[in-house]
Amino acid sequence: MKTVKYLLTGIVFGIIMTKSEAVSWYRIQEMFRFQSFFMYGIIGTALITGIILVALIKKFRLKDTEGVPISFSPKDGHWKKYLFGGIIFGMGWAFTGACPGPVFVLLGQGYSVMIVVILGALAGTAVYGLIQDRLPQ
Amino acid sequence: MIRYLSNPWPWWASGLAIAGIMAILIFSGKTFGFSANLSNICSMAGLGKRISFFRFDWKAQRWNLWFLIGSVVGGYIAAHYLSSAEPLNLSAAAVRSLDKLNIPFDGRMEPGSIFNWNFLLSGKGLILFLGGGFLIGFGTRYAGGCTSGHAISGLSNLQLPSLIAVIGFFIGGLFITWLIFPLFFR
């Protein structure tokens, strides 16, 4: 039952990512060139709604569907990790025009070349796991 | 309904819908973060035997892997049953800029001149797809999240590390777009 719930949520996510055009290489280029408000509007609306949602959950100490109080884990660690990791991911985002979610959504759309992006991303993740203690954290 | 959904969505509707996905996951006791799945797959593949970073109980993350499978199915459904006949409404300025890079705007979701196996199997294609994928995998794990984990979930919770990560996303993206692409696509 739970499996079906997350599968369905994922299906809706895939449809949203496609119809929003956030999976489009063109749209990501347009965003990084500041040539349209479109992507900023999407991320901004999601963010403002998210900030209100999280604030309300905290204020009213809401519980999840299992009855467990909802908690948000703070992100910890050194700023270098977020900045350097962010820059590296941003370069990959501009090259492929896709972040991790859209990579898989595009595969479903029939863009078989995304298999190579997925293999690259898994290799990148594995190499990070291998050398992470040697990086500034 | 189907016809209505098939039309291109206004940006605010997409933004609200993405926040809705985050809400569903939060009220299920989960955190919206897609790139964690790359780690989950590495762990599932048995990399934990050699690399301690992947030594965790991936089965506790099965929900997120189902979400991933769903996103592939959702992409299929949207492309086959909810697609609009209208070309992508890219700004004229972006069309002109990409034209200068010899990337003609074809009105589709992805540029046909890049998203094909012939281009992929060229040197540039391998850098763009395989190299780009590598940077995505390495960078998201290093930063501890991607667009969903930091720009949406983290910033919604007003996390400073997520703001630093998002600034990083833009530094990296602007660097490739403005300094590398003019050389790369010449």
Closest CA to A124 of A98, A86, A96, A88: A88
Dig out the tokens for A105 from the structure. Answer: 């959504």
Q: List, for residues B69-127, the tens digit of each pLDDT value.
A: 999 999 999 999 999 989 999 999 999 999 999 999 999 999 999 999 999 999 999 99
Contact A21 B109 (CB under 8 A): yes
Asked if A14's CB is within 8 angstroms of B77's CB, the reply is yes
Of B91, B98, B146, the CB nearest to A36: B91
Which pLDDT tens digit goes with each residue over A35-51? 999 999 999 999 999 99
CB contact under 8 A, A8 and B134: no
- For chain A, what is the total number of helices (H) and then of strands (E)? 6, 0
Comparing CB atoms, the residue among B76, B166, B177 nearest residue A94 is: B177
pTM: 0.97
Three-state SS at A69: strand
A1 interaction partners in chain B (CB closer than 8 Å) = none
Beta bridge mates, A69: A63
Write down the pLDDT at residue B162. Answer: 97
Nearest Cα residue to B98 out of A60, A25, A50, A130: A25
Residues of chain B with Cβ-Cβ distance to A30 below 8 Å are: 90-91, 94
Q: How confident is the model at residue A136, as a pLDDT?
A: 87
Cβ atoms of B69 and A7 within 8 Å: the answer is: yes
Strand partners, A63: A69
CB contact under 8 A, A64 and B29: yes
Sign of CA dihedral B12, A26, B125, A111: positive
- pLDDT tens string A113-127: 999 999 999 999 999
**In terms of DSSP H, where are the helices of chain B?**
2-6, 11-27, 36-44, 62-81, 92-100, 117-120, 123-126, 132-143, 155-156, 160-174, 181-184
Which residue does chain A place closest to B35, by CA atoms?
Answer: A100
> What distance in Å separates the CA atoms of residue B125 and residue B174, rounded to the nearest whole number?
20
Q: Is A65 helix (H, G, I), strand (E, B) or coil?
A: coil
CB-nearest partner of B94 from A18, A36, A93: A36
- What is the distance of C-alpha B143 from the center of its chain? 15
Residue type, A119: L
Nearest to B66 among A6, A17, A27 (CB): A6
